Amino acid sequence: MPAPGTRPDTGPERADRTVLDARDISRALTRISHELLERNKGADDLVLLGLHTRGVPLARRIAERIAAVEGAPVAVGELDVTLYRDDLRSQPTRRAHKTALPAGGIDRKVVVLVDDVLFSGRTIRAALDALADLGRPSAVRLAVLVDRGHRQLPIRADHVGKNLPSALAERVSVRLTEIDGTDEVSIS
């Protein structure tokens, strides 16, 4: 007989609670897109760089929304920060992804870093270091789907889909259709 709180086939039960469903994510990305346009006064010189892994599809979705409003495409790229992370010694088995900048590059552009979850701020610090090696933007902004707090560095997002106060022991999971087959944010 299994112990209380466990299932025989899966071990301890995880209490996942959905905090954003597909419609919530869509609304949040639409709001972020409009905020970006308003703050930038249009889409001129705007470059969205999605951070691997889930920031990339989020950046593409935001670009689609901006293009629908502005009637013109927005430059989108991918940024891999693996080699810029400060935890490579403790977690050396990270898979590297590609960095792909838009054809026009990032010099003198307003670069918006796009990521799924802002937590300690260390990934964004790594992204800023990577950007310094790639060019000189006129400004760098940060858009995240979820800000869960617990910053270890003085970094804050300019555009947030949802502020989600959480305990350090909790795990925030973002699932996106392009990678996971469904759109949802859950906490466990």
Choices 3.40.50.300, 3.40.50.2020, 1.10.3720.10, 3.90.1150.10: CATH for 18-87+95-187: 3.40.50.2020
* pLDDT-based confidence at residue 15 (cuts at 50, 70, 90): confident
Neighbours of 96 (CB within 10 A): 10
Q: How far apart are CA 56 and CA 96, in angstroms?
A: 14
Inter-axis angle of helices 22-40 and 55-70, nearest 10: 60
Task: For the chain, give every domain's residue range.
Answer: 18-87+95-187
* pLDDT tens column, 18-31: 999 999 999 999 99
Going from the C-alpha of 136 to that of each of 19, 76, 131, 182, the distances in angstroms are 37, 16, 7, 36
* pLDDT tens column, 122-159: 999 999 999 999 999 999 999 999 999 999 999 999 99
Q: What percent of the chain clears pLDDT 90, i.e. is strictly above it?
A: 85
